[in-house]
Every structure is written in C-alpha cells, then in structure tokens.
A and B are shown apart, each in its own frame.
Chain A
Amino acid sequence: MKIFSIDKLLSLTFGVIVFLFFAFVYPFHLNYQEQYQMFLFTADYFFQLMEKPGGFSDYMGNFFTQFFFYSWVGAIVIVSMLTLLQRAVWSVSRRMGANPLFVPLTFIPSLLYWGMLCDENYLFGGVAAMLLVAFWIRAYTLFDSIPLRISFFLISIPVLYWLAGGAFLLLPLFAISREITARKIKNLYLVLLAFACILLSVAFPILSKTYFLQYPMQQVWIGANYYRFPVNIPIAAGVIGILIVYIPFLIRFLSDKFQPKKTTFILSIQLFVLIVGGSVFISRSSDMEKEEVMAYDFNVRMRKWDRVIKLADQKSPSGPLSVTCLNLALAKQELLADRMFHYYQNGVGGLLPDFTRDYTIPTIAGEVYYHLGFVNTAQRYAFEAMEALPDYQKSVRSVKRLAETNLINGNYAVAGKYLHLLQQTFYYRGWAKQALQTMKDEKLIEQHSEWGWLRQCRTKEDFLFSEAEKDMMLGILFMQNKTNRMAYEYLMAYTLLSKDLKHFWQYFPLGESLNYKSIPVSYQETLIYIWGMSNNDPTQDIPYPVNPAIKQRFQAYQNISRQSNPESNLRAEFSDSYWYYHQFRNN
C-alpha cells in the first residue's frame, strides 16, 4: 500500500462505517429528526430562514434532514457531510504542508460530530455550518497574495456570519493563527489585522441585535441551530470548530517534527487510537434505549403494526412510550385483549399517556387517540407537539396529521391549506396530491379504509376532554359506535391496568356487540379471577364461558400463590397472565 493513497482509503473506510452505523444500528434517530421539521421548496421558506445569522446553514441542514425519511438515504447524507468535513480539514492541512502520515488526525472533528449526531437534539444545521466554514477556510488558503488573502477574509467575516452564524469566528481564528505562524506580515500590521478582525467579529452580531434581530445576544452570536433547544450553548460544537482550525497546525507541526522513518508504526498508532477511542466514544454517545422508542414510534407512524409486535417479541419494551406503541399495535391487530399481558405493562400511562407540553409524548399519544377515533384530541396533540418544538420549526408529521384530522372532520378548507403546504415538500407531495383528490369527493372519504372508519368512530356527544376521566371518555366513544372494537378494548384495558375490577365486571358485557368468537384471554383470566375472589369455588357457576385450560391454569396459579414467597415461581410461569399483573405489578 502506498502512503499517498492512504487518506482516500481511510475516508472511504470511515464513510462505510458511518453509513453502516446510521443505516443499520441507529436508523430510527434519523427518522425521528425528519419528522420535526418541514422543509418547503418555496422562496418564502428560504427567506424566512435567511432572516437570521446562520440561517443558510439551517436551510441546508433542513434540506438534508428531509432525506432522513429513509434512514439509508439519511445515512448517505451524513456520510457525505462528515467525509466532506474530514476532506476539508485534510485539504487545508495539505495546503499547509502536512505529511499524509498524519491523515488520521483529520478524522477527529468528523468523528466527534458523528458522536454528537447520536444525540437526537443535535441538528444537522450545525454540520452544515461547520462544513461551510471549513470550506471557507480552505478557500482562504488558496490565496497566495497577502493583500488578496486579507481582503478575502475581512470581507468574508460578515458574509460568513450571516451564512453560518457564530461558526464564522473560526475563519478569523484560523487566519490570524496562520498569519502569525507564516510570519510574512510585519508585527504591526498583524496587530492591526487582529484588531480589525476582533472589531468586525464583534460589531456584526451587535449591530444585528441592535437593529433587527429579536433574539437574546447569546443566540445572535451562535446563530445556526446546532441544538434543538436554542437556549443551550453547543459547547461540543465549539470544541469541534476549534479542532477544525487547529488540527492543520498540529499536523504541520508534527510533519516538521517527525521525519517519516517509522511510517507504519506512527500510522498504526494513530489508527489504533482513532479506532479504539472512536468506538468507545460512539458507543457512549449512542442511546439505544431512545433508539428503541424511536423504532416503535416510527413503525407506528408508518402503521407497520406487525413490525411493532415483532420488536416486542424480540425484546419486551421497557419504556412507557414503547409500551404505548406496542399496545396500539396490538389493538390494531386485534390482539390487545389476548396478549397485552405477554409484555411488560406500566399501568394506564402505557395505554394513554398524559399530556405534557413537549413534542415527543403528545406525538405518540396522539397516534393512539387518532386510531381510537378521538379525532379532536389527536388534532390537538398534533398541533401542540408542533408548537412545542423549541427551535420554532413546523413538524411535517404534525401537519400531515392535521390534514387528516381536518379532512375527517370535514373542515376541507383548512385541510386543503395543510395539504397545499405538504405539496411543497419532497416526500409528502404525492400523498398530499392524492389526499386533495380524495377530498373532492365525499364518497371517497367515506370509503377510505382509515378516514371513513374514523369518521364513523367520532363521538357525536360533546364533552370536554378530561385527563382524569379517560375511561369515561372511552365509554362514551364506544357507546356511540358499538363496532369500535379498539375503543372497547382500550376501555377494558384501562380497567385492567388500573386494577379497577369493579368496572371491568360492569363494562365487560358491553362487548357483546363485537361478536368475539371467544372471550379474549386476559378477559377470561380477569373474569375467573373476580369470580374466584367473590366465590368459594371459582370453577363452578361462572356465568361466562371460560376455557377449561384457563380454569386449570388459574387453579395452578392459586396453588403456587398460597406458598410462601410465591412471586419468583409465579413470575416464571404466570408473568403473562393478568393475575400476576394484578398481584405483583405496582404502577
């Protein structure tokens, strides 16, 4: 292997590894990112973002993030950006006379940004800003003529500030450092240059804030949306920026210091540290618990109910939101009443989570309300989730849901407004066009497998939503449409999960209209459990057809439960039963 080609080979290897990670290990983080923005191919959208410093980076970041809809495309985008960043750092280093031996060091900024992107709140606009500045620095190094170089970078300060936000500071930092080390400018001129740099760098943010930006000074300085919560200072991004500036200097220093005698050894050491350190860093930066919730949520969003259940079969969900998604999938597959206790249940919170003023829980909880037929509540949750986005973006997922809920409710004008917006997106254009066609014909909506059905499920009896009375609301919903099996099963699940056996017994007969072939397993278990508690002989005279096998199983359960410390034995055999949930789960 020739040393001169090592940089390209390493870039390629790095790219492949990053791709594999985001495409196969961490794909749902990308889907998660995509849903909380709405990139529009309109001039208004562009100018809206360009109104503030760093807006161009945000625009580019949002442009690329829209492709995260397909995680493998998103992975390619990330690979391209991170590899370009590395190539830019390498290119600057080369320009400064770097020895290819030290190329592994140029991967450090990209590697660190990879780790940062494992946090779902780091946005892609930050990568775009860094890349933009890195290329700008590269452009700066192209000028050999000192007056041209200085003019270029002084003019670049305001331009780069507006395009990339606070990351613009990296350019003067690099330029001044370069001129100091190059020693081609007299000290006096250097001081003057540094002074001009500082003046310009400080003046533009302050002037922007004074005359037309209504943001806190900190945000005016930072500019681009590195982080979803603009009040946070993206220190990690700052560190990466400084590395982008100084790694070329470091390599230049090392290149001067170490003559290439033991090239293989030096290269191996660097690669070893990079690979081991990088693996540890990425592993620590990744949050696989969040990835699990995002996987559940994405499959719910895509209505891939079987995949949700498959995920749970592979590993029972432990987080409350994953449980919410699983219960919804089970209900959609008509398995909730039979199998819900086969998985971990965290009480009624896993059925219908309470509203919170954020963008994650209402998005997931809204899915449940939507599929139940609480169309207004689903609409509210979608709207609130969108409004709760701290970076003031609009959510394409929420807008799509708002189009659906308004369409179901017959509010065609406002549904049309949302569909018109979606028509200006890349991935949702086709869907919106089709929905607009459907909207023109009332019959098509009625016949639509989802919208038509949900129309029938909506309550005609008005009431005000009450978080504390979800069972009452479910009851009203079911009584309006006694074929709404999901409403019935959620009502029953609510009583089961809240251990409200009295109401379970009371509501159970309501399910007669659903014509079950046999009573669902968890209901049978509960019926016999209640019967057992209220009768001496639980196997006799129960007024419902309980399967003999379940009766026998209950008998076995009771036998073990009479033993001392029965929980571990019961868990081994009966953790999939309602009896175990009722007796041992404290939610």
Chain B
Amino acid sequence: MNRIFIILFLFATLTACNQKPVPSEIRNEKPDIFPDYTEVTIPENIAPLNFRVNDEYSAIDAVIEGRNKEVIHVQDKKFISIPAGKWTQMLTNSKGDSLRITVSIEQQGKWIQFAPFSVHVSETPADYGLVYRLIAPGYEVYSKMGIYQRNLSNFDQSPIVENTLIPGSCVNCHSFRQSDPKEMSLHIRGKLGGTVLMTDGKISLLNTKTEKTISNFVYPYWHPSGNYIAYSVNNTNQGFHATKEKRVEVVDGASDVVVYDIKNNRAISNELLMQNSMFETFPSFSPDGKTLYFCSSASRKMPEEYNQVRYNLCSISFNPEDGTFGDRIDTLFHATALNKSVTFPRPSPDGRFILFTLIDYGNFSIWHKEADLYLFDVQTGNSRPIVEVNSDDTESYHSWATNSRWFVFSSRRIDGLYTRPYLAYIGENGIARKPFLLPQENPDFYLNMMQSFNIPEFITGKVEIDPNDIEKIVLENKGKQVENLKLQ
C-alpha cells in the first residue's frame, strides 16, 4: 500500500512540475525574451526557437499553440528548450499560420504571465543550411578559426575546415555556386595555402597570384553556369582608430575585378574593370550570368583619404559563351550622390532585387556601425533601406536562399562587436518581415561565444568534403598556377 502511495505521490509531483502555472499576475506587455522571437516569421525547416526571458526568475514556462489546437508545453528553471520532434511536427502542421506563445515566469513563488506573442510559419522553406566562418572579431592576429556548416532544421554544426589543420594558416572567403554544396571555393592563407576549389565534389588547389594582378584572388562570386568565378584582387591594409566610436579601418590601396575561367584555368578581365583611376571590388553575377555587378570608386590616396572613398553599384555585361565583357560600365546606384558607399551587392536568384550594404565611406562594412542593408529593385531601378531588418548597429554581409524568399545577414546588434547571423523572410514585393537570430540549443550560446559568424551563406545540402584531402593538397604545395591575366 505504502509503495503505491509513494508511486502516486512521485507521479503527482513529477507531473505537477509540468502543469501550466496559475498566474498571480497577468501583464499586458509581451515578454522581453532573448533571442527576440516575438512576431518573427520563420521557415518550417528551422530548429526550435529556444529562448529565455531577460529577467531574473526561478522558473520559466511557455505554452506554444499551433494550428488545430496543437500544444507544446515547456517549463524549466533556466530557459525554454522546445522538444525538437514536437516542434518539427507543429511547424509542418502550422505552415502558413501563426504559433501563439504564452510565456510565464516565476518570481518569489508567484507566476507572472505575459501577453502572448506570435511566430508566423512561412509556407516557403529556407535552404538546407548555412555555412559561415567562426573567427574572433580581432585586428591583425588570429587564433583558432574555421569554416563550419549548420543544418537549419536542428542544431548540428560541423567543421568544413579549421585552421588548426595547417598551423598558422587563415581560412576565408568561402563561396558556393548558387548555394550548391558541391561547387565551392575558399582560400587558405599562410606560408602554405592557396585557393581551394571544389567542382562536382572534387577538390584542387590554385595559386592565384599572376604577374598582371595586384594580389591573390580575394572576394569571390560564382557564375551560375559554374564555369567562372568573379574575384576582386585587392591591396588591403588596416588602420586602427583612436576614438571610442570606431575600432578598425580596412582600406584598399588598389583593387580590380577579374574573372577566373575554371575550364581554361586563366584569369580574364577588361580594362574597364582594372582602371588605375578607380577601385573596383565585390563582384557578383546576375542569375542569368550575363551581367557582372561590382562596386566602383574613384581612387584616392590611401590611407590618408580613407574616409573619402565611396563606391557606387555598377555593372558591365558579360558573355559566358566566350568570356568577354561589354564595352561600357553602367552605374545602377549612385551612392556617391548620397555621400555613401556600397558594398556586397548580391542579386536575388530570381533576378528581381540586388541586396547591398550601404555605409558612409569605404568598403569594409563590418566595422561601420552605420552599415545598413538596402534593396535595389532591378526592374524599377529604385532602392530603399530595408528598415524591417536594419538596426542601430552594423548589418553587413548577406546571402540569398535559392528561392529568393529568405536571406541571411550578419549583424552586430546584440553587443556591437560579435557578429551574429539573422534570417529574414522577404516577399515578392520586396517587403521583409522581422528577422530572427539563428536559433541555438542554449540561448546563452551567443553570450558565451567569443567568435563572430562571418560570411553566412545558404547551402542547399551538406558539404561533403574531407579536410584531410585539403590538408594533403595544401601540404604538397603543388597548387595549379592560374595562367596570366588575359586583358580584353
């Protein structure tokens, strides 16, 4: 009898822990949660949005209601950790609808319930995952870093390549052909290194410095055909500010744009893309592959006039059949007329928009607090700041999902220094919804993390690459030399 009583008591106690609390106080305001997932739009293939309330409490409770009265109830002492299976099911069932989340916290033995908030589940999924570099937001010296991939539908992150593989090296500038995980390039810098190129899953190493180019290949963008990669070549230096408002200034003393012809292993360019009187950088191809977008500024004496360099958004036609360029440059967005500067033009895969970053001067937007995302409408030629996603702090690098309905961007809005990836839905009309921070299993993940998420890029599947193969080709130091520049 006693045993039955104990079992019943334990059962009652355990289930009581998970009972919906009876609030002593109901507040009209929504909870102040971290990450801020209130009223955001999410894709159905996103990991659970675990969160905590920015207040002190002894327990936290959340009731998540989906379509068809589906309910997930979570209670914990630290933060809301939503069961993955139930979450996935709920998102699948609630596509095109909103979740209603009611949060309560327990303070001094009393439950306080906040006004419920909504999370809209889009009918349009995002791509499989993201690839980003994790690196401390430092100056010149770097410690451990790596390029990692993250499955969006869960919390799995795995390294693609880490710089521990080749001591003293730096890994950067990963890029994919239209988010295809089988077509990738990245750079390994250091005593040993080069540009690692993966085409159809096979890797090779390139030595990209040629006699006629000022540097190795730097900022990449794949041609949709997979036959070319546009690169900038940059003579880059850094300066360090004295006042509290700024930290680092990254400047180009010279820069050009070239296109790497993969099949023929040669760099090609055009006099219009390599003018001494101009700085050209950040190339990207239009989705039809017939236009090359890039940023262009009148050259200045560097570093003295670093704050007078301003880039416009320009384009030049490109013929992918024979790798030739047009004979004129069009200026699509006159940033200089606004006393501003454009960086990272990224056309949407449907060709309708170009997403770019606008800053006061220069091209290294991550160190510019004023950096905001802008949307250029290719059809109308109009552009506007995407106020729906911008913050008072830096918004910088960005990448489109293959369906053009999602984009990921890096922002420093949490603490002003450590860059974090945000995802946002954007409609066909170019109106974006409130973005959300990439979910993590523990919401305090970002608080403890001493690295930035650098260059977030969508991928449509897992990158299958053996880091040992990368190590092998780099250590062999037998990179294929890119043939000298062919100037048209």
- Which A residues lie at the B interface, using CB under 8 A? 42, 44, 209-210, 214-216, 219, 230-231, 357, 374-377, 379-380, 383-384, 386-389, 392, 394, 409-411, 413-414, 416-417, 420-421, 458-465, 473, 476
Contact = CB atoms under 8 A, between A and B. Distances in A.
Contacts of B415: 411, 413-414, 416-417
Given A216-B167, A464-B303, 14 more contacts: A42-B448, A44-B448, A216-B165, A357-B140, A388-B143, A389-B143, A394-B450, A411-B415, A414-B417, A458-B243, A462-B246, A463-B241, A464-B240, A464-B249
A413 B446 CA distance: 12
A377 B140 contact: no
Contacts of B162: 214
B136 interface: yes
A376 B244 contact: yes
Nearest to A420: B447
Given A376-B244, A410-B244, A392 B143 contact: yes
Contacts of A462: 241-243, 245-246
Interface in B401-422: 414-418
B242 A459 contact: yes
A350 to B, nearest CB: 23
A219 to B, nearest CB: 8
B142 interface: yes
Contacts of A394: 450
Contacts of A216: 165-167, 471
Contact of B447 (A209, A231, A392, A417): A417
14 contacts: A214-B162, A216-B166, A357-B140, A380-B240, A380-B247, A413-B414, A458-B243, A458-B244, A460-B243, A462-B243, A462-B246, A464-B241, A464-B249, A465-B240
Contacts of B244: 375-376, 409-411, 458
Contacts of A210: 468
B164 A214 contact: yes
A384 B139 contact: yes
B135 to A, nearest CB: 10
B94 to A, nearest CB: 32
A441 to B, nearest CB: 18
B141 interface: yes
Nearest to A462: B243
B141 A384 contact: yes
Interface residues of B, number: 39
Interface string B130-166: 0000001011111110100000000000010110111
Contacts of A389: 143
Contacts of B138: 383-384, 387
A214 B165 contact: yes
A44 B164 CA distance: 20
Which of A384, A387, A459 has the most chain B CB atoms closer than 10 A to its own CB?
A387
A214 B450 contact: no
Contacts of A374: 242
B321 to A, nearest CB: 41
Nearest to B135: A387
A476 B471 CA distance: 49
Nearest to A379: B247
B467 interface: yes
Contacts of B303: 464
Interface of B: 136, 138-144, 146, 159, 161-162, 164-167, 239-247, 249, 303, 306, 414-418, 447-448, 450, 467-468, 471
Contacts of A417: 415, 418, 447
A386 B417 CA distance: 16
A465 B293 CA distance: 34
Contact of A386 (B143, B241, B246): B143
Nearest to B303: A464
A413 B448 contact: no
Contact of A215 (B165, B414, B416, B447): B165
Given A376-B244, A420-B447, A459-B242, A413 B468 contact: no
B468 A209 contact: yes
Contacts of A416: 415
B242 A384 contact: no
A379 to B, nearest CB: 8
Nearest to A374: B242
Of A379, A388, A462, chain B has the most CB atoms within 10 Å of the CB of A462
Given A421-B448, A462-B242, A231 B247 contact: no
A278 to B, nearest CB: 35
Nearest to B475: A216
A214 B143 contact: no
A58 to B, nearest CB: 14
Nearest to A210: B468
A357 B170 CA distance: 15
B416 A464 contact: no
Contacts of A465: 239-242
Nearest to B442: A44
A277 to B, nearest CB: 36
A187 B340 CA distance: 82
A113 B393 CA distance: 51
A467 to B, nearest CB: 10
A383 B452 CA distance: 14
A357 B241 contact: no
Contacts of A379: 247
A387 B416 contact: no
A460 B143 CA distance: 31
A414 B140 contact: no
Q: Which of A214, A375, A459 has the most CB of B within 10 A?
A: A214
Given A376-B241, A376-B242, A414-B418, A357 B141 contact: yes
A459 B140 contact: no
A415 to B, nearest CB: 9
Nearest to A406: B417
Given A416-B415, A417-B415, A387 B141 contact: yes
Given A231-B167, A421-B448, A464 B139 contact: no
A392 B144 contact: yes
A473 B306 CA distance: 19
B167 A387 contact: no
A214 B163 CA distance: 8
Which 3 A-B residue pairs are closest in the complex by CB-CB distance?
A464-B239, A413-B415, A409-B244
Contacts of B143: 386-389, 392
A463 B138 CA distance: 19
A499 B237 CA distance: 32
Contacts of B140: 357, 384
A461 B159 contact: no
A230 B241 CA distance: 34
Considering residues B143, B306, B447, B468, which has the most beta carbons from chain A within 10 angstroms of its beta carbon?
A: B143
A455 B225 CA distance: 55
A450 B342 CA distance: 41
A52 to B, nearest CB: 9
Contacts of A476: 242
B186 to A, nearest CB: 14
B177 to A, nearest CB: 24
A411 B137 CA distance: 15
Contacts of B240: 376-377, 380, 464-465
Nearest to A421: B448
Contacts of B239: 464-465
B448 to A, nearest CB: 6
Contact of B242 (A414, A420, A461): A461
A376 B416 contact: no
Given A210-B468, A214-B161, A388-B141, A463 B242 contact: yes
A394 B161 CA distance: 21
A406 B304 CA distance: 27
Contacts of A375: 244
A420 B143 CA distance: 21
Contacts of A473: 242
A392 B415 CA distance: 23
Contacts of A460: 243
A411 B416 contact: yes
B417 A411 contact: yes
A413 B416 contact: yes
